[in-house]
Amino acid sequence: MLLVLFVVLWSVMAWTMSVVLGYGLISEPLRFPEMVLVLLTVLAAAVLSTSWIIWQLKGKEVLEIDHEGLHIWCERSLFKHRLSLRLDEVEFIRAEEDRDTPWWIRRQLGIGGGDIVIGHNGRKRRWGIDLNELQAAKSAEEIRRVWEKRTAVLN
C-alpha cells in the first residue's frame, strides 16, 4: 500500500514538474536551453510511473500458445512487455514460488514475478502474478499439457 501511495505521489509530482518546465521553456526558451533535457527526463519518469499505476489498476497478463509458439504480453498497460518464443525454445513450464524477489517486496508490497515459471534458452520468465498456489499449479499443468501437445504435433 505504501508503494502504491509513493508511486501515485511521484507521478503527480513528475507531471506537475513537466507542466511547469514545459511552460517555462515555452515562455522563455532562450533563458535556460539546457532545461530541455531535464524536461525530457521528468517527462519519462512521469510516463513510467503512470504506466505502472495503470498496470496495477487495470492490467492483466496474457499467455497464448498457437502453431507459431508461446506468446506472453501485458494487456491494458502503456508498455506491453511482449515475449514470443518458438515452441522448441521452451525448456519447461512449472509452478513454483517466486524466491528470486526478496520476501519483504513480494509479500508486503505485492511486487514480483508470478508463480508459474517458463524456462527458455537457459533463462526464466515468471507469469501469473495474481495467482495463488493452487491456481498456479492448475494453470501450469494446463499450459504444460497444451505446450506438450503442440510440440508433439511438430515432431
pLDDT in tens, 11-52: 999 999 999 988 988 888 777 777 888 889 999 999 988 988
Separation of alpha carbons 19 and 37, rounded Å: 14
Burial class (CB in 10 A: 0-12, 13-18, 19+), 42: buried
82-115 tens-digit pLDDT: 899 998 899 999 999 888 777 777 666 666 678 8
Given a cut of 80, whether residue 58 has pLDDT beyond it is yes
Separation of alpha carbons 84 and 68, rounded Å: 9
Q: Which pLDDT does position 152 carry in this prediction?
A: 78
- For residue 71, what pLDDT band results from cuts at 50, 70 and 90? very high
Ranges 53-67, 69-83, 104-118: which has the least confidence = 104-118
Long-range Cβ pairs for the range 109-116 (8 Å, 24+): 109/2, 109/3, 110/3, 111/3, 114/61, 116/140, 116/143
Q: Which pLDDT does position 29 carry in this prediction?
A: 77
Cell of 34: 539546457
- For residue 76, what pLDDT band results from cuts at 50, 70 and 90? confident
122: left (phi over 0), alpha (psi -120 to 50) or beta: left
Q: What is the mean pLDDT of the chain?
A: 86
